[in-house]
Amino acid sequence: MKHWLPFIMAAVAGALMAVQGTFNSILSKIIGLLEGTFVVHLIGTLAAGLIMLIMGNGHFSKAAQVPWYSWLGGLIGVIIIIGVAVSIPKLGVGMATTAIIAAQLLTAYLIDHFGWFGMEPIEFNFWKAVGIILIVTGAKILLH
């Protein structure tokens, strides 16, 4: 595999999403859904700010060049945290993560294929379709 490091990083991020969802669910159950979402984003903002101060080399001066929809990541993050925190206690970590991954993959391949949001289009082929069918079938089996 030519891109093993990014693949490993993506796999670690995926594993951490299940852990984060579990932690967010516990936090929200105890202090409240919106309060937990706020705390998660506050701690994330502080952590990102610290990392930026130590390692950052970006250019805030180019902010006006960013497409308007790219600014929606924070809002989407709030919706994701609320969705995960609500679904995990009712479905369990495995079932909720199965639904999340299936929907995430379907959306990702649509973005890739159509080149939405300025992404370089990546051809959707027979084998990707087979993979999606297998994942969706597996998700359906896991959810029942």
* DSSP codes of every residue in 98-140: HHHHHHHHHHHHHHHHHTGGGPPP----HHHHHHHHHHHHHHH
Compute the mean pLDDT over every residue in the chain, rounded to the nearest whole number: 90
pLDDT at 36: 95
pLDDT (mean) for 73-95: 92
Prediction pTM value = 0.79
Question: What is the C-alpha to C-alpha distance for residues 45 and 32, in angstroms, rounded to an integer?
Answer: 20
Tokens of 81: 């945290």
pLDDT band per the 50, 70, 90 thresholds, residue 98: confident
Single out the residue of 95, 104, 107 nearest to residue 140, CA to CA. 95
pLDDT band per the 50, 70, 90 thresholds, residue 1: low
pLDDT at 110: 92
* Whole-Å CA distances, 131 to 127, 136, 139: 6, 9, 12
pLDDT at 135: 85
- 143: helix, coil or strand? helix
Question: What is the C-alpha to C-alpha distance for residues 25 and 32, in angstroms, rounded to an integer?
Answer: 10
* Residue owning tokens 């130590």: 54
